[in-house]
Structure 1
């Protein structure tokens, strides 16, 4: 990382309050597919830089929690969108974490390989196909034309489309942050 990680013993109260979001609750449940805290208790992934600005970090973790634990989109569909963003940006940490989350949501190794190769995995549901195609359009052009919008609202509904576009935007931002601060997955070295 381009900045020093923050030792939990040296965190100020605002940083500690943010840190607690990653060391308690759903994010550390045994069934969680990845951890944002390393074995030494230090933050890894996006929170490792969010801790630098607790005001922004708290807002970002709230969006992250909504994406992971509050979205109406099925988990497999959500992970397809996140993995497409990760591949689009070649974001090593996003791909590390969300390949695990994708497997936990039911994506197979063949599905993951297809997404990595830019192919549509076989056997996707209508919602998953819609999420894949809509995410690709948004990543490619930053918008949808009228027909694409109607095609997305059909299976997703307007609230689901809003969630999908928010997920794509959020993970674009996360990918940029990870790239700028050179945040890598565990074991990636320097």
Structure 2
């Protein structure tokens, strides 16, 4: 069960209400009025929510990278952080955008995937940043040769943003959507 206190949207401040209504233009609320994902915790600070959603929208819709590669980077981040909502939301999207299910199965299992060179490179870049907190010179050169400096900067922004998303989801123990399997077990 999510840790965040359930709030009636009727009790929101004017700023929270404005941000909530903005969210409703792109997301359907659950029967209890919650939005899901990191959005309910972010609504506690409506300015923060607005700014983070703007960045998220840009990263989700307007990068120079193939959408499947972005979803693979997001999913890899969700796997590293064992963020249930992140994995449950983005792993299927990676497949939808062309990443083979076998690649996603490898990522979920914690294995380096056997995918296209670009898919393996995105995975390697993500894991290097999550584990080593840096890119080796050869990995940097491979990434910039494949994606350009702009593409690499966008990968860094995507995984950084989704670390924040994953941290929010995990801190508040945000639940997956009803009927969705829970990818990572939690202790009570």
Partner of 2:96: 104
How many equivalent residue pairs?
180
Task: Find the counterpart in structure 2 of residue 31 from structure 1.
Answer: none
Deviation track 1:78-133 (CA, whole Å, cap 9, x = no partner) reads: 11111111111111110111123223212343232121112344442x43232111
Q: Which piece of structure 1 moves more, 12-21 or 169-178?
A: 12-21
Are residues 71 and 183 of structure 1, via their aligned partners in 2, closer, same or farther at CA, if it must alter by over 3 Å? same
**Partner of 2:3: helix, strand, or coil?**
coil
Distance 2:14 2:6 in 1: 17
Contact 1:6 1:48 in 2 (8 A): no
CA–CA distance in structure 2, aligned partners of residues 67 and 52 of structure 1: 23
Mapped pair 1:182 → 2:184: no
Report the alpha carbon displacement of residue 41 of structure 1 after superposing the two structures with TM: 3.8
TM-score, normalised to structure 2, is: 0.85
Structure 2 unaligned regions, length at least 5: 183-187
Find out whether 1:46 has 2:47 as its counterpart.
no
- Cα RMSD over matched residues? 2.1
1:93 maps to which residue? 85
Of the candidates 153, 158, 172, which is equivalent to residue 163 of structure 2? Answer: 172
Deviation at 1:177, TM superposition (A): 1.3
> CA contact under 8 A between 1:82 and 1:98: conserved in structure 2?
yes
**Cα pair 1:114 1:121 within 8 Å, conserved:** yes
Partners of 2:18 and 2:152 lie apart in 1 by 32
Give the match for residue 12 of structure 2. Answer: 11
The reply on whether 1:152 has 2:153 as its aligned counterpart is: no
Q: 1:20 to 1:107 in 2, by over 3 A?
A: farther
Normalising by structure 1, we get a TM-score of 0.85
Q: Give, in whole Å, the separation in 1 of the partners of 2:14 and 2:96.
A: 34
| Structure 1: runs of 5+ lacking an equivalent | 29-34
Question: Helix, strand or coil for the counterpart of 2:134?
Answer: coil
Q: Name the CA distance, whole Å, in 1 between partners of 2:146 and 2:81.
A: 27
Secondary structure of 2:37's aligned partner: coil
**For residues 148 and 21 of structure 1, what CA distance do their matches in structure 2 show?**
40
